[in-house]
């Protein structure tokens, strides 16, 4: 986080820096929804290798979202440490 903020911190608004801890969970959630939508639409967008592949992918991404949200407090702490170091 220190390196990221040192390299890009001046380009980010304070609100963007404050929201960094939610960036990972948001991307994982979006990806999970895209896999689930594709599964429900008949697997037309993402290539699958077996039936239920996109459903499994969706479940993994949604579980990742849960885990990243559980660690959001630590992510906030890392942003603050990076902010002070920059």
pLDDT in tens, 16-55: 999 999 999 999 999 999 999 999 999 999 999 999 999 9
Residue 39 and residue 53: Cα distance in Å, rounded?
Answer: 8
Q: Phi, psi at residue 71, to the nearest 5°?
A: -95, 10
Question: What is the greatest pairwise CA distance in the chain?
Answer: 49
Reported pTM: 0.84
Could you state, in order of their start, the residue ranges of all structural domains in the chain? 2-85
pLDDT at 31: 98
Residue 63 and residue 35: Cα distance in Å, rounded?
Answer: 13
């Amino acid at each position: 986080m220190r390196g990221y903020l040192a390299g890009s911190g001046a380009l980010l608004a304070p609100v963007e820096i404050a929201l960094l801890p939610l960036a990972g969970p948001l991307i994982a959630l979006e990806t999970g929804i895209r896999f689930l939508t594709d599964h429900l639409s008949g697997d037309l967008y993402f290539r699958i290798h077996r039936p239920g592949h996109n459903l499994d992918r969706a479940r993994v991404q949604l579980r990742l979202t849960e885990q990243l949200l559980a660690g959001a407090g630590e992510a906030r702490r890392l942003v603050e440490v990076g902010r002070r170091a920059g």
